[in-house]
A and B are shown apart, each in its own frame.
Chain A
């Protein structure tokens, strides 16, 4: 039935950063179906020029509060890659632990505070304080505990303090390892309840065939920090080649920069990682996936939230493993460093270019720095997950709208908002988005 629908969601709520959804259907024809980005540009890449690579972590962490540890790790990886510094085994473990905690923290925030209200038919977690008090308390407790973990590992979660080029400026004490273990043990119970809760919720059914992109490698571990870039279309390349494979482009209907790889669009994030690397999950996470009926090869973007739950289980179990390893070998406190801006030149610096590629909660994040012989940044580029997903979200929207046209305008709006939220977009991160006004 020909139908006219006009959807205009201004300042999309419960996402990080500012975006609008605009859909215009006249007599059954889609005239417009866009996710507009209205975030004010913050120009991080421009501001980094002339700064020392020893400041880059502090600055780029502030691209995003939710992913501050992810930006930190990508920044450190890029800086260390540029100067040819190799992290110690202990640093690698602690960085991984930090990333697991941020992924857990971010996924919990998304599952409970951003996605669940839609599935429970309320506008936010606030009404849930009365109707589902134990659920809200659990969510806040889990978030707080992730925060406590990050505080032990890096001083604080938003924005980590002790993570610098070269390693850590503080290291956990024996008693702190014990405390972290206890926190993670308690988290296991809360996570079980979280998986249980998710089995009771129904996600919209919708599918679209697309390309999924994530870090892949030949190790046995579900990769977040090390490896090549791979896709479900069979592409695999070294992270240093990212600019040759991934096209950033401007589309005529919007001036927001989009990306593509082998086809029109691709998706990054929990679902992409799951689709590419599910075989490498630990047994607890595999059990959770089974329980949540998350099949490998899932093409429903709404189930990104479910993939996040599976990854959360993974992160808790792997964190416990790392803590136990550290307890067994003992933390080598002589690895603690004070670097500042490398005034003492303890870390050798040389001119070069470095790339960081890290799986952060919302997908693969690239930092790319070119530095001079003094360690000053000459050129910088950051490619953010949401930026990469935007094109895919819009293509999902364009397939979804005709499928749900018989619904009321309100329902259509909700389905679209839920779709965008499923990607857990982080628009404040999106340094490349362009501000554009649409003609009505």
Chain B
């Protein structure tokens, strides 16, 4: 029997789901091996019986906390899909503000109607079995992860930094152009997508494990830069990971 797959969206831009629709006709091949029972963005069918739950988006209110717990109870496998789910993604930038202050800035007196909590990654609420990093996800990696899920084997996120891929792609280093790039401290796996297209890495895949010790830090040193300063400068995607690191440090 084909495994039943359900997509669920929490606070996010739904761009990662869209990556699935962008597979084009290959999507039909994927639909041969799995049975999609829930995909609200493009389906009205509402399957409540599923084996694999693919979670897009971050947890940003109490209602979402309850909802994700229920999904975890039903699903055999939970996949955090995209930066929003894996690390809190761009949504976690709000954690750098006091909640009442930022709520009042956007909604003024109507802020009281909201239920909001600081942004959490999915694994801060429930156990996550697989991660597909990136904002958006890199489609090839999603297929790789899906294959691992279907074969029941572990998927290992590369330990390397984006720099390793970037060098293989023979890009001119952004630091040589006088710009700051998150590549040295960001997990590889996107084939240095942004630098290949002439922009800097914004760090959407999250820190490499142990950013301070990782060999890639050499790039920063070569340019006389302090990794911490860079994190501060472009902390778009790592607020939650930063919180986790700090917590680990305290323990």
Q: Which of B28, B60, B194, B196 contacts A140 (CB 8 A)?
A: B28
> Which positions 108-138 of chain A face chain B at CB distance < 8 Å?
109, 113-114, 117, 123-126, 129, 136-137
Q: Are A47 and B22 in contact (CB under 8 A)?
A: no
- Residue among A16, A68, A257 facing the most chain B CB atoms (10 A cut-off): A16
User: Which chain B residues lie closer than 8 Å to A175 at the CB level?
Assistant: none
User: Which chain B residues lie closer than 8 Å to A158 at the CB level?
Assistant: 13, 15-16, 18-19, 22, 136
Say yes or no for A358: interface residue by CB 8 A criterion.
Answer: no
User: Which chain B residues lie closer than 8 Å to A168 at the CB level?
Assistant: 198
A40-B11, A140-B28, A436-B113 known; A126+B18 contact, CB < 8 A: no
Q: Are B177 and A338 in contact (CB under 8 A)?
A: yes
User: Which chain B residues lie closer than 8 Å to A257 at the CB level?
Assistant: 110
Q: Are B18 and A66 in contact (CB under 8 A)?
A: yes
Q: Are A62 and B31 in contact (CB under 8 A)?
A: no
A42-B60, A147-B22 known; A58+B15 contact, CB < 8 A: no
Q: Which residue of A lies closest to B61 (CB)?
A: A40
Say yes or no for A93: interface residue by CB 8 A criterion.
Answer: no
Q: Are B64 and A428 in contact (CB under 8 A)?
A: no
Q: Are A47 and B93 in contact (CB under 8 A)?
A: yes
- Residue among A55, A66, A344 facing the most chain B CB atoms (10 A cut-off): A66
- Residue among B40, B135, B180, B233 facing the most chain A CB atoms (10 A cut-off): B40
Q: Are A144 and B24 in contact (CB under 8 A)?
A: yes
B89, chain A: closest CB distance, angstroms: 8
User: CA A278 – CA B105 in complex, angstroms?
Assistant: 40
User: Which chain A residues lie closer than 8 Å to B4 at the CB level?
Assistant: none
User: Which chain A residues lie closer than 8 Å to B45 at the CB level?
Assistant: 123-124, 126
User: Which chain A residues lie closer than 8 Å to B136 at the CB level?
Assistant: 65, 156, 158-159
> Which positions 237-259 of chain A face chain B at CB distance < 8 Å?
250, 255, 257
Q: Are B106 and A41 in contact (CB under 8 A)?
A: yes
- Residue among B61, B113, B199 facing the most chain A CB atoms (10 A cut-off): B199
User: Which chain B residues lie closer than 8 Å to A63 at the CB level?
Assistant: 13
Say yes or no for A336: interface residue by CB 8 A criterion.
Answer: yes
Q: Are A46 and B94 in contact (CB under 8 A)?
A: yes
Main secondary structure of the interface of A (DSSP, over half): loop
Q: Are A141 and B24 in contact (CB under 8 A)?
A: yes
Say yes or no for B10: interface residue by CB 8 A criterion.
Answer: yes
Say yes or no for A164: interface residue by CB 8 A criterion.
Answer: yes
Q: Which residue of B lies closest to A381 (CB)?
A: B106
A368, chain B: closest CB distance, angstroms: 13
Say yes or no for B27: interface residue by CB 8 A criterion.
Answer: yes
Say yes or no for B245: interface residue by CB 8 A criterion.
Answer: no
User: Which chain A residues lie closer than 8 Å to B236 at the CB level?
Assistant: 55, 58-59
User: Which chain B residues lie closer than 8 Å to A13 at the CB level?
Assistant: 40-41, 43-44, 46
Say yes or no for A91: interface residue by CB 8 A criterion.
Answer: no
A65-B15, A126-B45, A159-B15 known; A434+B179 contact, CB < 8 A: no
User: CA A40 – CA B58 in complex, angstroms?
Assistant: 10
A58-B236, A159-B136, A250-B110 known; A144+B23 contact, CB < 8 A: yes
Q: Which residue of B lies closest to A426 (CB)?
A: B14
User: CA A341 – CA B94 in complex, angstroms?
Assistant: 20
User: Which chain B residues lie closer than 8 Å to A15 at the CB level?
Assistant: 41
Q: Which of B23, B64, B135, B179 contacts A159 (CB 8 A)?
A: B135
A129-B28, A144-B22, A428-B13 known; A161+B199 contact, CB < 8 A: yes
User: Which chain A residues lie closer than 8 Å to B150 at the CB level?
Assistant: none
User: CA A360 – CA B200 in complex, angstroms?
Assistant: 26
Say yes or no for A260: interface residue by CB 8 A criterion.
Answer: no
User: Which chain A residues lie closer than 8 Å to B21 at the CB level?
Assistant: 109, 113, 140, 143
Q: Are A47 and B97 in contact (CB under 8 A)?
A: yes
Say yes or no for A201: interface residue by CB 8 A criterion.
Answer: no
Q: Are A42 and B115 in contact (CB under 8 A)?
A: no
User: CA A65 – CA B63 in complex, angstroms?
Assistant: 23
User: Which chain B residues lie closer than 8 Å to A164 at the CB level?
Assistant: 199
Q: State the A residues within 8 Å of B (CB).
A: 11, 13-18, 39-43, 45-47, 49, 55, 58-59, 62-66, 68, 109, 113-114, 117, 123-126, 129, 136-137, 140-141, 143-145, 147, 154-159, 161-162, 164, 168-170, 250, 255, 257, 336, 338-341, 343-344, 428, 431-432, 434-436
Q: State the B residues within 8 Å of A (CB).
A: 9-19, 21-25, 27-28, 31, 36, 39-46, 60-61, 63-64, 89-91, 93-94, 96-97, 102-103, 105-107, 110, 113-116, 135-136, 174, 177-181, 193-194, 196-200, 202, 233-234, 236
Residue contacts A-B, CB under 8 angstroms, 11 given: A40-B60, A40-B61, A40-B64, A58-B202, A59-B236, A64-B14, A155-B197, A255-B110, A338-B177, A338-B199, A341-B200
